[in-house]
Amino acid sequence: MPLIIMTGFPSSGKTKRSAEIQEYLENVRGKKVIIVSENHVLGQEKNAILSDSRKEKDVRGTLKAHVLRALNKDDVVILDAANYIKGYRYELYCASKQFKTTQCLVQSLASIEQAWEWNEARPENERYTREVFDGLVGRYEAPNSSNRWDSPLVTLTPEMVPDLEALHDSLYLSKPPPPNQSTQTQPLSSTNFLHELDRTTQEVSNCIMSAQKTMVGGDAIRVPGVEESLTLGRKVTLAEVTRARRQFISYTKMHPVEDSGKLAALFVKYLNTTLQ
């Protein structure tokens, strides 16, 4: 039932830690563990895939789909992947809320130099190229335990012996976050829901782009009728807003809300999470 999300630099020991957790949960706690592995999806073409942003995005979608299919009331699911984008980790958090299960984030915290050294020790057909390795490290968005989607956060350096009992207790002795309207799968509440979704997100997008014409630096942007301000700390491009809008629409189509009047507030919250 619980979801364990691994995160860290390439070649930082995520797969080794996943195996340790699996061994403990299966042999000591009698749990069934399913590992969804990024390495299995990437295969020997990983450098070519990770050099192409579209192919890399497709891989993230495939991994998420595997996780959603594996989540159930009984088994532990470990996502053994870099999971370096905080917006992606937020999507996985929402998925665990939808399934009413607990989750935790396990960060394999090796230095860049140590991770590269381990990468070089791999068989040649399993190594990252320097360009791909540096690109992944540069794009890595470190977790922050103050974010609800990065909590509870277990950080493991290479020399640490993991407290697997505490990890088990954080998953099984705590309550899952309560599902909310944005993560509950519900039938469309009205025939014009999709129209309202499209209209509302477009209005918010237009408001952002218009406000940025006169804003100074990282000023907060106020969207009419929404209590939460948009606090990105920088100006964003139309392409960024459009991409986030498409993602939000796709997700909300799958998980409609009963009150379409909350769409603007939910979209602003989503933008604050994904565009920073």
Taking CA atoms, 175 is separated from 101, 107, 148, 171, 206, in Å, by: 8, 22, 14, 8, 40
- What pLDDT was estimated at residue 185? 45
Q: How far apart are CA 217 and CA 190, in angstroms?
A: 40
Q: Give the DSSP letter of residue 45.
A: G
Q: How many residues does the chain have?
A: 276
Q: How far apart are CA 50 and CA 219, in angstroms?
A: 34
- What are the two backbone dihedrals, phi and then psi, of residue 58, each rounded to the nearest 5 degrees? -65, -40
- What pLDDT was estimated at residue 107? 96
Q: How far apart are CA 202 and CA 196, in angstroms?
A: 10
- What pLDDT was estimated at residue 30? 93
Domain spans, the chain: 3-172, 193-274
Question: Which amino acid is residue 203, in one-letter code?
Answer: E
Question: Which amino acid is residue 250, in one-letter code?
Answer: S
DSSP letters, 160-217, are PPP-HHHHHHHHHSSPPPPP-TTTS----SSTTHHHHHHHHHHHHHHHHHHHTTT--T
CATH numeric code, 3-172 = 3.40.50.300
The two three-digit tokens of residue 269, written as one number: 């919250």
For every one of its 276 residues, what pLDDT tens digit does the chain have, with 9 covering 90 and above?
A: 799 999 999 999 999 999 999 999 999 999 999 999 999 999 888 999 999 988 999 999 999 989 988 887 778 999 999 999 999 999 899 888 878 889 999 999 999 999 999 999 999 989 999 999 999 999 999 999 888 889 899 999 999 999 999 999 988 888 777 655 444 444 444 557 788 888 999 999 999 898 888 877 667 888 888 888 888 778 888 998 998 898 888 888 777 777 788 899 999 988 888 876
Cα angle 231, 221, 251; round to 5: 70
Q: How far apart are CA 209 and CA 235, in angstroms?
A: 9
Residue 208 contacts residue 267 (beta carbons within 8 Å): no
- What pLDDT was estimated at residue 273? 81
* Full-model pTM: 0.65
Taking CA atoms, 26 is separated from 75, 77, 78, in Å, by: 10, 12, 13
- What pLDDT was estimated at residue 225? 86
Predicted confidence (pLDDT) per residue in 160-210, tens digit: 999 999 999 988 888 777 655 444 444 444 557 788 888 999 999 999 898
- What pLDDT was estimated at residue 181? 47
- What pLDDT was estimated at residue 187? 43
